[in-house]
Amino acid sequence: MDKIARIDMGAAGGPKVTVGDLGAYAGLGGRAMTSIVISTEVHPLAHALGAENKLVIAPGMLSGTTGSMTGRLSVGCKSPLTGTIKESNAGGQAAQVLARLGYAAVILEGKPEGDDLYKIYISKDGIQVIVDNSLKLLNNYPVIEKLRGEYGDKVAYMSIGSAGERKLLAASIACTDPELRPTRHCGRGGVGAVMGAKRVKAIILDDAGMKMRPPKDPDKYRDANRAFVEGLRKHPVTGQGLPAYGTNVLTNVLNEAGGYPALNFKSGQFEGVAKICGEAQAELEIKRGGSATHGCHRGCVIQCSGIYNDKDGKYVSKQPEYETVWSHGGHCGIDDLDVIARLDYMDDNIGVDTIEMGVTIGVAMDAGLAAFGDAEAAIRLVEEVGNGTPLGRVLGCGAEITGKVFGVERVPVVKGQALSAYDPRAVQGMGVTYATGTMGADHTSGYAVATNILKIGGDIDPLKTEGQVELSRNLQIATAALDSTGMCLFVAMALMDQPETFQAMFDMLGSFHGTSMTGEDFVALGKKVLSAERDFNTRAGFTKAHDRLPRFFYTEQLAPHNIAFMVKDEELDEVFNW
């Protein structure tokens, strides 16, 4: 990872590739790389779909090594959905392969004239940018099927579906899993629309002939990794809950806590949870010959994913995540896992964020476009997105646009991005993160659910305001650093409870790079990333007025606790005062 490739898609005479050294970006990876490049190089008032925006693709600091859990790929740009800076990361194989190819970042720049569509092939021999109009308006599964015929099964693929090509604001970028399914998505913030605006349909990453990245201190790295894996295996969440039930293990937990936002955030509990919870899902998956335990990339020891088959044992989709089951399920009043899995597949195929898409359908239901609970209508609405009809384009642009076009007042978004499966009134710490996060509402950016509900890393009452700002601050800092390492966020569950596991990860970082990495260094890295992001956002016009939840969270009480969001504005304004 000693080079950066810049691909000017708008160069005169056709796309132009330049490969250079890291310069000022040396040592950065993942989110640190994407956010610092974007904050440094992109005009904060650039049109997100214009030539001035850039799409930065960066493996994490430890990606492409023998270290476990290091397969996250970060994609960054100015977001067309939120107008903020954006980093969106995904699992799958892409990060490992790109890192082994030696690229700390591939940066798509400019914007071509004309309608040609491109694919980019990156191998040990360099980078080719190739016109391939045969891929036009194909969705992700057919795109990968077609590319596999050409490039085979020993590569990793990134691609956009029709949504990205149409520049819909909720468009995602798909990364293939080990079995080459386009199921791991950089979902949030419309990064797929930026790739689409640059007319790049797919990136093929081929590391044939390349080796694992070598640590500076191989012995220490191996030992640290071993301790790290042991820590993950012994923690109940990463060692048992997630492997057995996947993220959907949370459905019952949040519903019991009264923080499961049902029917477009009208209640904190949903009567249909028993039919869509992780336990029911895992049982069904196993019964139908799918799997409740599967890794999205090689080297994963948590294996929180799975395979969801239909009643005839035929593949439907990867195991839908908790937030997806919620967004298409309880949020829309739908309690049928088969419908939810089908919607999950449709989202992955069309290439839209499952959270934004599901929340949008719920907002459309509030607008009267369909009744809550009407599964067929939900499917029909997502089909519209795939067909690119005017209605589909609206829905594919997310909850905020849909709310505006259909005159809906209750639209659960912050900075234009949909909230997810945790009601901020019943999980007040999560509300702080939603409100203040640098990229719009994003539960992953400071997962206060851990300490509010799961009691990981402490115990802070989710229904009170005390301690929530500090909790969210610390989580946002740690997450910004973790998102830079290439590590899956789920390792945090073990890190927060087990200091020795945290130390093992520091030792992996230090021994790999031949430097030291302490807790202070890690915090400093997180603050550096957040500061770059906040600086970009400030220059783009974001203020503390944008670090707020929609008004209805303050004015409407949530059952069963009958509670509003109570964290004061002045407290929210303290999140980044460290």
Q: What are phi and psi of 465, to 5 degrees?
A: -90, -20
Provide the token pair at 455: 């009691």
If the CB atoms of residues 513 and 546 are measured against its own copies, the closer one turns out to be: 546
Residue holding tokens 């790389």?
A: 33
Q: In whole angstroms, how close is the CB of 199 to its own copies at the nearest point?
A: 12
Q: In whole angstroms, how close is the CB of 193 to its own copies at the nearest point?
A: 7
If the CB atoms of residues 27 and 50 are measured against its own copies, the closer one turns out to be: 50
Residue holding tokens 């302490």?
A: 518
Contact 423, 261 (CB under 8 A): yes
Q: What is the DSSP string of 21-37?
A: --GGGTT--HHHHHHHH
Q: In whole angstroms, how close is the CB of 541 to its own copies at the nearest point?
A: 3
Q: In whole angstroms, how close is the CB of 495 to its own copies at the nearest point?
A: 35
| Chain positions contacting its own copies, by CB under 8 A | 43-47, 49-50, 52, 80, 166-169, 193, 196-197, 389-391, 393-394, 397, 401, 404-407, 409, 539-546, 548, 550-552, 555
Query: Which residue, among 381, 376, 337, has the nearest Cα to 358 in the 3D structure?
Result: 381
Q: In whole angstroms, how close is the CB of 276 to its own copies at the nearest point?
A: 29
CA–CA distance, 35 with 51 (Å, rounded to integer)? 18
CA–CA distance, 448 with 477 (Å, rounded to integer)? 12
What does DSSP say about strands 55-59 and 103-109: parallel, antiparallel, or unpaired? Answer: antiparallel
If the CB atoms of residues 52 and 223 are measured against its own copies, the closer one turns out to be: 52
CA–CA distance, 296 with 298 (Å, rounded to integer)? 7
If the CB atoms of residues 64 and 83 are measured against its own copies, the closer one turns out to be: 83
**Amino acid identity at 84:** T
If the CB atoms of residues 173 and 401 are measured against its own copies, the closer one turns out to be: 401
Q: In whole angstroms, how close is the CB of 164 to its own copies at the nearest point?
A: 10
If the CB atoms of residues 27 and 388 are measured against its own copies, the closer one turns out to be: 388
Q: In whole angstroms, how close is the CB of 139 to its own copies at the nearest point?
A: 17
**CB proximity list for 175: less than 8 A, separation 6 or greater:** 73, 90, 91, 92, 93, 94, 95, 156, 157, 158, 182, 184, 185, 186
Contact 3, 104 (CB under 8 A): yes
If the CB atoms of residues 447 and 542 are measured against its own copies, the closer one turns out to be: 542
Q: In whole angstroms, how close is the CB of 399 to its own copies at the nearest point?
A: 13
Q: In whole angstroms, how close is the CB of 146 to its own copies at the nearest point?
A: 24
Contact 175, 158 (CB under 8 A): yes
Q: In whole angstroms, how close is the CB of 286 to its own copies at the nearest point?
A: 42
Distance, first Cα to last Cα, the chain: 32
Q: What is the DSSP string of 49-117?
A: TSTT--EEEEE-TTTTSS-TT---EEEEEE-TTTSSEEEEEE-SSHHHHHHHTTEEEEEEES--SSS--
CA–CA distance, 56 with 6 (Å, rounded to integer)? 9
If the CB atoms of residues 115 and 312 are measured against its own copies, the closer one turns out to be: 115
**CB proximity list for 266: less than 8 A, separation 6 or greater:** none
If the CB atoms of residues 148 and 544 are measured against its own copies, the closer one turns out to be: 544
Provide the token pair at 170: 């909720």
Residues in the chain: 578
If the CB atoms of residues 100 and 167 are measured against its own copies, the closer one turns out to be: 167
Q: In whole angstroms, how close is the CB of 50 to its own copies at the nearest point?
A: 5
Residue holding tokens 């707020």?
A: 548
If the CB atoms of residues 83 and 526 are measured against its own copies, the closer one turns out to be: 83
